[in-house]
Amino acid sequence: MKLDLRPLSLPDVMLVHAGRFSDRRGYFAETYVRRDFVAAGIVNDFIQDNQSGSTTPGTVRGLHFQVPPYAQAKLIRVLRGRVLDVVIDLRRSSPAYGQHLTVELKESDDQLFVPAGFAHGFCTLEPDTLVVYKVDKVYSAAHDRGINWADPDLGVRWPIKESEAVLSDKDRILPRLCELETPFH
C-alpha cells in the first residue's frame, strides 16, 4: 500500500494517510506496515503501543515529551471520537522553535507523525474518545517532561477554557516553555 504523506506547518511533522479497502462488510485498513513507512521516509522503529481513553470532552493530555536518550517519535491515531492535537517544536536549532501546530484528528485513516524533539498533547472534543499511538522508545519516568498546556506564550487556541479542562495533577503543574531548558538542538 502506498502511503499519502502531507507535510504540515512544522518541519518534519506529517499527516499520514494509509487508506482502506471497503466492501459491503465495512472496511479493512493496514494502519502500519513498516516497509511502507520506511519507503515513505519514516524509518523509526516503533517498539511500544499506547492507548488512552477519555470519557469527558475537554480532557487535556499533554504537552508531553521525553528527553534523550529516551526521546520519542510518535505515530498518533484516533480510534473513536475527535481530538484537537497540538505539537510544539522544541528543537533550538529549528527556525520553528517554540511554534505550534494544531490538527483535528478523528476516527479515520489519518495518523499524525511527530518526530522526537517536539512536545505533543491533545484535547478531546467528544465523549469516550480513544487514542492510540506508537512510540520508538519505551516510557522512562526519569526522562519524562512536559510544558504547561495553557502557557499563553505558546499561543495555542484550545477549544476550552482553562477552568474547564480535565487534567491530571501532573499536567496541571507543568512549567511554561520559557522555564524549560530544551535538550533538543
Residues 6+ apart with CB under 8 A from 1: 18, 19, 30, 33, 36
- The CA-based diameter of the chain, rounded to the nearest angstrom, is 54
How far apart are alpha carbons 139 and 142 in whole angstroms?
Answer: 9
- Active-site residue, selected from the candidate residues 27, 100, 133, 143: 133
Assign residue 47 a region: left if phi > 0, alpha if psi is -120 to 50, beta otherwise?
alpha
Question: Would residue 32 show up in a list of annotated catalytic residues for this protein?
Answer: no
Element (H, E) at 63: strand 60-66
- Active-site residue, selected from the candidate residues 27, 32, 64, 120: 64
Question: Would residue 64 show up in a list of annotated catalytic residues for this protein?
Answer: yes
Catalytic sites, residue numbers:
64, 133
